[in-house]
């Protein structure tokens, strides 16, 4: 099964995707994580991507599409795949359709998470991320047991550069301009689109997600 998670920054896609991964052996394509890893490793892709990311802008489509192609080609046939943070533009959505077609498959469902802007801004501002295992916390709603330390693996949590207020506003604008057309693209296609209210407890949102994808 191939599921695409869409929604603005801070809506909880990463949290919901991690909870879904507890359900079974999902493969994930999380372009934000792949880019952050590349930036940390100092690869050519990472160096190119970092300036866009820090400003809250999108990394150019060709770089992202190559990254996703590489990731998909390494997956076993018939794997359950969840996309988080991709596609973010209409050209990316078209490229994904073409890539999946080459692999003899297609998206089964698109899930759009929604929440009011003031909730998104508050969630992003309070977000803290684990650099080692990717666990996500929020200083307001879901703090770690020991201040600043990951409950899962003990690493020191950090605030993403692009989670600072200056970048968050830009990321919301970019979402409206570039990514909302992706939702329309799928609505016009044959792929079923589910809309889920994400301004609720994570467990309730997860129950809706599993109901929508039938898992
Ligand atoms: P995320 O972790 O999904 O919020 O992504 C963090 C940043 O990585 C974004 O603000 C973009 O700069 C970049 N990024 C992640 N995924 C994509 C994508 N599919 N297309 C372009 N840029 C992306």
Please state the φ and ψ torsions of residue 149, each to the nearest 5 degrees: -120, 140
- Active-site pick, 17, 28, 36, 88: 88
pLDDT at residue 24 in the model: 87
The mean per-residue pLDDT over the stretch 55-70 comes to 95
pLDDT at residue 165 in the model: 83
- Token reading at 98: 């073409």
pLDDT at residue 41 in the model: 94
Residue 164 annotated among the catalytic residues of the structure: no
CB atoms within 10 A of CB 47: 12
pLDDT tens readout for residues 29-39: 999 999 999 99
CA distance 42 to 197: 38
pLDDT at residue 42 in the model: 95
112 falls in which pLDDT band (50, 70, 90)? very high
pLDDT exceeds cutoff 90 at 174? yes
pLDDT at residue 145 in the model: 95
Please, what is the average pLDDT of the chain? 95
Q: How far is the CA of 207 from the centre of ligand 1 (A)?
A: 26
Q: How far is the CA of 31 from the centre of ligand 1 (A)?
A: 6
CA distance 184 to 52: 25
CA nearest to 72, candidates 104, 47, 110, 32: 104
Residue 13 annotated among the catalytic residues of the structure: yes
Residue 160 annotated among the catalytic residues of the structure: yes
CA distance 86 to 171: 14
11 lines ligand 1 (CB under 6 A): no
79 falls in which pLDDT band (50, 70, 90)? very high
pLDDT at residue 99 in the model: 97
Under DSSP, the state recorded for 178 is: I
Residue with tokens 């997956």: 75
- Active-site pick, 27, 48, 122, 160: 160
CB atoms within 10 A of CB 153: 12
pLDDT exceeds cutoff 90 at 151? yes
166 falls in which pLDDT band (50, 70, 90)? confident
- Taken as a whole, the chain contains a residue count of 215
The mean per-residue pLDDT over the stretch 156-161 comes to 93
Q: Which of 59, 62, 123, 174 to mutate to test the pocket of ligand 1 (most atoms within 8 A of CB)?
A: 59
- Token reading at 169: 């506003």
179 falls in which pLDDT band (50, 70, 90)? very high
- Residues 6 or more apart from 60 whose CB is under 8 A from it? 52
Q: How far is the CA of 76 from the centre of ligand 1 (A)?
A: 25
């Amino acid at each position: 099964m191939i599921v695409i998670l869409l929604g603005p920054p801070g809506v909880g896609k990463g949290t919901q995707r991690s909870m879904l991964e507890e359900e079974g052996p999902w493969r994930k394509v999380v372009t934000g994580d792949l880019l952050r890893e590349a930036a940390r490793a100092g690869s050519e892709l990472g160096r190119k991507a970092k300036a866009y990311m820090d400003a809250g802008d999108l990394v150019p489509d060709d770089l992202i599409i190559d990254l996703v192609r590489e990731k998909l080609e390494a997956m076993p046939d018939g794997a359950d795949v969840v996309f988080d943070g991709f596609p973010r533009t209409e050209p990316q959505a078209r490229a994904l359709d073409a890539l999946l077609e080459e692999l003899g498959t297609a998206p089964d469902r698109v899930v759009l998470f929604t929440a009011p802007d003031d909730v998104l801004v508050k969630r992003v501002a309070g977000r803290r991320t684990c650099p080692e295992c990717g666990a996500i916390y929020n200083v307001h709603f879901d703090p770690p047991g020991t201040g600043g330390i990951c409950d899962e693996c003990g690493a020191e949590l950090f605030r993403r550069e692009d989670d600072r207020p200056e970048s968050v506003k830009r990321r919301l604008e970019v979402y409206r301009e570039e990514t909302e057309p992706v939702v329309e693209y799928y609505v016009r296609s044959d792929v079923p689109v589910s809309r889920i209210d994400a301004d609720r407890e994570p467990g309730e949102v997860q129950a809706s997600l599993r109901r929508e994808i039938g898992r």
